[in-house]
Amino acid sequence: MSTSRQQKGREAEDLAARFLAGQGMEIVTRNFRCMLGEIDLVARHGRTVVFVEVKSRFSRRFGTPQDMVSETKQKRLTRLAQWYLKKHQLLRQPARFDVVAIQWVAGEPVVTWIANAFPASE
């Protein structure tokens, strides 16, 4: 990954974290990594643990940012979330998956928040 791509990704995650905090969510962890992969943001929304995938695009040529959360990605996020919940003894807490999609238009971000974007999948 090039530095500029890393910087863009970090900027998108910063924007998503600020946006979600403004919606009343508490950001608990950023870039949670384990042997199974990475979760962009882990947040709390009331009692609910929210696993957030952040996607951003500067062009719609390949679809919208949220289109990039494939079934394979959803399965990987489900496994990561299960591992996280078990590790932090949160298996009894409600949990969901959100997507924050950021489309850059003329250098300005357009944020789309999709709460409960997909169900846990095996």
- Check pLDDT > 60 for residue 94: yes
Give me the pLDDT at residue 45, please: 95
Read off the pLDDT of residues 9-65 as tens digits, 9 standing for 90 and up. 788 999 999 999 999 999 999 999 988 899 999 999 999 999 999 998 876 677 777
3-class secondary structure, 13: helix
Q: Give the integer Cα–Cα distance in Å for 81 and 24.
A: 21
pLDDT-based confidence at residue 3 (cuts at 50, 70, 90): low
Q: How many helices (H) and strands (E) does the chain have?
A: 2, 5
- pTM of this prediction? 0.90
- Check pLDDT > 60 for residue 69: yes
Give me the pLDDT at residue 43, please: 98
pLDDT-based confidence at residue 8 (cuts at 50, 70, 90): confident
pLDDT-based confidence at residue 121 (cuts at 50, 70, 90): confident
Give me the pLDDT at residue 81, please: 95
| CATH no. for 3-116 | 3.40.1350.10
Q: What is the DSSP annotation of 57-113?
A: ES-STT--GGGGS-HHHHHHHHHHHHHHHHHTT-TTS-EEEEEEEEEEETTEEEEEE
Q: Where in the chain are the domains?
A: 3-116
Give me the pLDDT at residue 117, please: 92
